[in-house]
Amino acid sequence: MSTYSLSQPCPHSIEVGGICYTLNLSFDRVLSAFEILSKNELDDIDLFDIIFDWLVVAPKVRKLAARAEVVKEIFDKLINFDKNTSDTEAETISFEQDAPFIYAAFRQSYGIDLFKEQGKLQWWEFVALLGALPSDTRLCDIIDIRTRPVPAPNGKNQEQISALLKLKAQYAIKNPVNKQSAQDGWERLWGILEKQAEER
């Protein structure tokens, strides 16, 4: 399952190497994985175990290589499914930095309390709702500020340019935590695993 389908349920399992793994892909667990993968320094192979235990309910395989492969398949097939938006996402939203605005936008638009939905609201549901937020939310205002092009000076719009640059600096993403940063972190971590395997 790699695209949305209203005729299919949200994925709760994945088959890897002939084994069917039961998953818990609630949005908060996926975001926790994003946060740990988005750290600048990733050198702890134990992170594979941490992420596996967050996302996989059963069976709890023990081999590190098997765990890493399962997590890789989860990310490739069930989490980072929208490859078309990942290139620019790092410039528009950070799930960590923008957490208060995301929470407020869900309450304002859908009446959803994301704290009460932890462990229940699935990642695909969260992403769909996030992408459909109306433009009158503060989160959408901030994303617009980040992505709005700075107009070319014409001798009359210096105040407009200065105001926009000030807003861009105020809301600039200082700590990106999103699908792109998590994917980058995952690739670095996977590279560490492959290097260790070669050295054995």
Domain that holds residue 80: 1-134+176-200
The confidence band for 103, taking pLDDT boundaries of 50, 70 and 90, is: very high
Angle among Cα 26, 27, 30 to the nearest 5 degrees reads: 90
The confidence band for 196, taking pLDDT boundaries of 50, 70 and 90, is: low
pLDDT in tens, 58-96: 998 888 888 888 988 998 888 875 555 444 555 789 999
Convert 4-13 to b/e letters by CB count within 10 Å (16 or more is b).
Answer: eeeeeeebee
Question: Is residue 157 helix, strand or coil?
Answer: coil
Per-residue pLDDT at 1 exceeds 50: no
pTM for this prediction: 0.84
Q: Quote the pLDDT of residue 180.
A: 80
User: CB atoms < 10 A from the CB of 41, how many?
Assistant: 7
Number of domains in the chain: 1
In a domain, 168, yes or no: no
Distance CA 151, CA 89 (A): 22
In a domain, 42, yes or no: yes
Higher pLDDT, 194 or 17: 17
